[in-house]
Chains A and B, each alone.
Chain A
Amino acid sequence: MNYPSRLIEDAVNEIAKLPGIGKKTALRLALHLLKRDEEQTRALSDALLSMRTQTQFCRQCHNIADGELCAICSSTKRDASLICVVVDTRDVLAIENTSQYHGHYHVLGGIISPLEGIGPADLHIESLVRRLQQASEQEPVREIILALSPTMEGDTTAFYLQKKLKPTGVKVSTIARGIPIGGDLEYADEITLGRSIVSRVAYD
């Protein structure tokens, strides 16, 4: 594509690097911003930059947080004896939207797949084991719920976690398979996902 200005071309190229956005859409967005007040673009770029530089990850569960602890880990209304293990923040949002779960989370940050160069050491697995070991006498963890996609990689990660968690003696369960095989949690509808957390099954 030939752009009328170098400045537009640079902006289009940057926007088009985002997932799901092609050059055409990027050009439309750039021209849209040019039509609006300069203030609007400034607000957008400020918000993006603040998000990138100031966002923190919860030191307990690795979810996105505004401070050291995320809103869920610091809430007194949540049940700290339940920990739901998920792949990333999108899964936390999907489960929160069901309003069926009131425990804590643990965000792994990915799923085990050596083919893509991701081994167990690349995920927040050690910190989960430590978290269980350090749970206080007054507030022990009762149950770990594995909410991973029913794919081969999801199963592998679940089996590995079971092996690692067994010595802690904490009960491990997995969400019921209401979600379609090979499907992502993110795309499971809220009712199905909510039901699958309520009717979770324990590993023996």
Chain B
Amino acid sequence: MSTKRATREALGETLIELAGEGLDVVAVDADLSGSTTTAKFAAAYPGRFFNVGIAEQNMIGTAAGLAVAGKIAFTGSFAVFATGRAYDQVRNTVCYSDLDVKLAPTHSGITVGPDGGSHQMLEDIALMRVLPGMRVLVPADYVAAKAALRVAATTPGPFYVRLGRVAAPAIYGDDYRFELGGARVVREGAHVTLAACGVMVEQALAAADALAADGIEAEVLDVSTIKPFPAEAVAASARKTGAVVTCEEHSIIGGLGSAVAEALGELAPVPLARVGVRDVFGTSGEPAELMEHFGLSAAHIAEAARGVLQKRP
């Protein structure tokens, strides 16, 4: 069993690897380089790292300029600031100019913990998903995060890679390959589909274990690419099982749950339940407490699965 690692730890390490391989990567952060781990990259490649201070709009703008000059520009900061504070810069400069800016902010979702609702970003997937040209990746563990960052670096155009603060158990081995636009069947099942992203993949797998004890075979899909959305893969699983539960550490408005609902509405209408934060802000607490408080834990997913199965015709 691998040790637990946070997805944010992948950022600095992957940047070091990419620069070592000769990729023209740079990083711009906004006074959070220790937390985002870009400080590790800065220590290894000081000429490729720029700190703008507490100025997220300038972080995105400077990264945009570096991309105009031909660099592959990663940005740090926390998800709440990198998206909300600098949304116009991301929209009108990065996406409208189709630049090689790769947003990889950390501290997304409620697992930020004690810092509370002001710092627990629950709307970032929604904000980024609607931007033309933006690709949105939500890796489930450290290995997936490294692979996602690599795909972002080597694929032209804007990317949003959502990283988290807390250490999470390993789901994947070193043979994992990130498929842009794909959904991975992590566990096969015939009765209900649990479509999850990020730290919720772990919870969905635990829910599948609990359901199995009751004779319910749940299929767990890791939907690590929210955009381009793997609509056909999700629909195929929905057609097979006939019921879907979405699992995300994000608002149920605009994120994975919405993307799945949109796809299934067009391709394969089946009973659907969305597990996520229900249109409220976060609050202070320990990550595990908050997962229970907001109804995101494995037990809540299992309960939602039983509920959605009852609606199946």
Q: Is A bound to B?
A: no
| Residues in chain B within 8 A of chain A (CB atoms) | none
